[in-house]
Structure 1
Amino acid sequence: MTSFVFIISLLLLSLSSAVFSDDANFTKLPVPGKRSGPEAFAFDSTGKGFYTGVSGGKILKYVPDKGFVDFAQITKSSTSSWCNGVGGTALAKKCGRPAGIAFNSKTGDLYVADAPLGLHVISPAGGLATKLADSVDGKPFKFLDGLDVDPTTGVVYFTSFSSKFSPWEVLIAVGVKDASGKLFKYDPATKAVTVLMEGLSGSAGCAVSSDGSFVLVSEFIKSNIKRFWIKGPKAGTAEDFTNSVSNPDNIKRIGSSGDFWVASVDNKVVVPTDPKAVKVNSDGKVLQTISLKNEFGNTLLSEVNEFNGHLYIGTLTGPFAGVMKL
């Protein structure tokens, strides 16, 4: 959910929405109304459609024969007309701005890391989200970003991009190379939040391995991905996983294969360039790189998520979700 050029990305929104691909395997799914930024995706047990969070604090469900429909909202204000018209993090304190989302496949609960408003959960019926936590040990989260649910235990792992700067101060955080990001875990059984890692430089995304042995955490600012061990002889320790992915954002596991997709851009120039999907294995080796320049221009990608032979591609400010057939 980050970029050296967050503000410039907003200005480029009209440009990115005008990019057309002649690839028959790529489909645009426009976000309804004036909302934008389908940032992350989640898939329920039915496998019919997907869920995504957008600006203004709404969670939308995409149903193939209906398109996007309202599923849930972070705050009571999220359904108001003035929240419907906001983009990015404008009015996020009132409306909410969902970032990372993931289902507990066993309970059907949808967990949401809302950037300014904290960790939330939504029941299988949808509706108004329930706030679970907005601080730990008396310290506000400040700027939540990535989230994943351990498929073996139901424990929730989530990140804060920064513990000093708010989402609307992202340019400052990146400019000063902030390293106050953290990795947390939330245990639904005890309702306790625990800090697992500190000192992360733009911890944008996280993903638990299919066997629940470790969780990966991206460091957007440092172009690095770390691994925190949950089980085994290294449990409780962290190590560098790979620095072969430029400016990694969200990370998503690919079923039970042991591989992961990472959303990536190159921010070494004035604007983010060369958006791409990068597949890595459990050893951090890059297996595949797919350029998405033709489909997204210089838009900042936020997530690449594989489901049923398709890649679901999200952006921070873009007006559509992209779906690419593999």
Structure 2
Amino acid sequence: MATISLLSVIVAILSTFVVVSSQFANFSKIELPQGITGPESAAFRGLLLLIDGPYTSVYDGRIIRREFITGRFQDFAYTAPGRNKTLCDGTTDPDMGPICGRPSALSFSPTTDLLYIADAYFGLLVAGPLGGLALQLAGGYKFVTGVDVDLTTGNVYFIDASLTYDIRDTTQPGCKPDSTGRLLCYNPVTNRVDVLLTGLSGGGGPAVSRDGTYVLVPELTGNRISKYWLAGPKVNQTEVLLNNVGNPNKIKRAERFGEFWVALSVGFIPPTPLITPQGVRFDSNGVVLQTVSFATQFFNKTISVVLDENRKLYVGSRFTNFIGVYSN
């Protein structure tokens, strides 16, 4: 009994050490090519030592990919048919979005190697392994903000943030966020889109659990994260998982099973004098496990995504020219 008790104490101490020491105190930048800004998303293709990326969507409408050997970015895909590189590359004009595209979120399907893309203007699209012009799967939306692939079924979940305003309206004086957002599901077998939830307050990026039993839904202006059940005794039911969490944007699965990271921009809406960007790791029961501040490197800026990959955090923002990388 004494041996078991001692072992339990040692395990507890080691567990505490892991949590305390994993504060991601080391910071570096992945600089974007000159003249390119707004890495709002981050995604890797492949597994373990074979991962490729990061891939990121940028302000001027492109999805670009970082080469492993050279560390340089190359164009990978784009969402706007007829996009003119001379006209669009490097643009920061918000009115060029409907012409050049404005991809906001990425999610790879590990079984098909397809890249699913959420574009604010062009809806849900998909690009093959070689990239190029992405194929539109579902369009006609005002403001698509996030996407995630179910690892078990291949279904694709995405969010349309509003029925009344688009991404340009959010920066206009007097814009009042509404509650007309929706969670949608695209079935790649039937090519059908179903509406699962309505009345969402703001957009963000959903995240499906690794076992496909539920999808987490952020509400950027509603300051909460909900769990929508896809299977089990609570199928098609919704419950609030985290409330008053500080403008949650995209949610991503963490490397640990049953855990997630969410990008927060505390003080964004309603606006305060100082925005505090941070990443929060939490579990499937809504228990907050860790909070990491990004305030020094992303001072007073909103962030869009916190991606947990190979024991590093990749942080994206539409207001920078780099992807932040935090490690231990």
Sort the TM-score into its range (normalised by shorter chain): 0.7 to 0.9
Q: What SS class does the counterpart of residue 91 from structure 2 fall into?
A: coil
Paired residues of 1:33 and 1:84 also in contact (CA < 8 A): no
Give the distance between the partners of 2:283 and 2:156, measured in 1 at CA: 22
User: 1:201-240: per-residue Cα shift (whole Å, max 9, x none)?
Assistant: 0021210011110001101111111111000111111111
For residue 48 of structure 1, report the CA deviation from its aligned partner. Answer: 2.9
Give the distance between the partners of 2:93 and 2:225, measured in 1 at CA: 25
Q: Does 2:305 match 1:303?
A: yes
The code of the aligned residue for 1:49 comes to: G
Paired residues of 2:207 and 2:216 also in contact (CA < 8 A): yes
What is the TM-score normalised by the length of structure 1? Answer: 0.87
Give the distance between the partners of 2:210 and 2:100, measured in 1 at CA: 34
Q: What SS class does the counterpart of residue 323 from structure 1 fall into?
A: strand
User: 1:97-140: per-residue Cα shift (whole Å, max 9, x none)?
Assistant: 11111011000000001001111000011111111110xxxxx3
For residue 75 of structure 1, report the CA deviation from its aligned partner. Answer: 2.2
Counterpart in the other structure of 2:15: none
Moved over 3 A (4+): 76-79, 171-175, 268-272
Q: What SS class does the counterpart of residue 304 from structure 2 fall into?
A: strand
Paired residues of 2:224 and 2:244 also in contact (CA < 8 A): yes
Q: What SS class does the counterpart of residue 289 from structure 2 fall into?
A: strand
Q: Which runs of 5+ in 2 are unaligned?
A: 1-23
Q: Does 2:115 match 1:114?
A: no
Counterpart in the other structure of 1:216: 216
- Find 1:56's aligned residue among 60, 63, 70: 60
Counterpart in the other structure of 1:235: 235
Q: Structure 1 residues 87-96 or 230-239, which shifts more? A: 87-96
* Pairs within 5 Å for 1:152-301: 152-171=152-171, 175-255=175-255, 257-267=257-267, 268-271=270-273, 273-301=275-303
User: 1:41-91: per-residue Cα shift (whole Å, max 9, x none)?
Assistant: 111113132211111211111123322111111124445122113126330
The code of the aligned residue for 1:284 comes to: G
Counterpart in the other structure of 2:10: none
Identity of counterpart residues, as a percentage?
A: 39
Q: What SS class does the counterpart of residue 257 from structure 1 fall into?
A: coil
Paired residues of 1:88 and 1:317 also in contact (CA < 8 A): no
Q: How large is the RMSD of aligned CA atoms in angstroms? A: 1.8
Counterpart in the other structure of 1:31: 32
Paired residues of 2:80 and 2:122 also in contact (CA < 8 A): no
Paired residues of 1:147 and 1:206 also in contact (CA < 8 A): yes
Bigger Rg, which one? 2
- The structure whose RCO (Cα within 8 Å, separation 6+) is larger is 1
What is the TM-score normalised by the length of structure 2? Answer: 0.87
Q: Count the aligned residue pairs.
A: 299
For residue 311 of structure 1, report the CA deviation from its aligned partner. Answer: 0.5
Give the distance between the partners of 1:205 and 1:272, measured in 2 at CA: 24
Q: Structure 1 residues 84-93 or 200-209, which shifts more? A: 84-93
- Find 2:86's aligned residue among 81, 85, 88: 81
Give the distance between the partners of 1:195 and 1:173, measured in 2 at CA: 31
Give the distance between the partners of 1:65 and 1:276, measured in 2 at CA: 31
The code of the aligned residue for 1:161 comes to: A
Counterpart in the other structure of 2:19: none
Q: Which runs of 5+ in 1 are unaligned?
A: 1-22, 135-139
Q: What SS class does the counterpart of residue 294 from structure 1 fall into?
A: coil
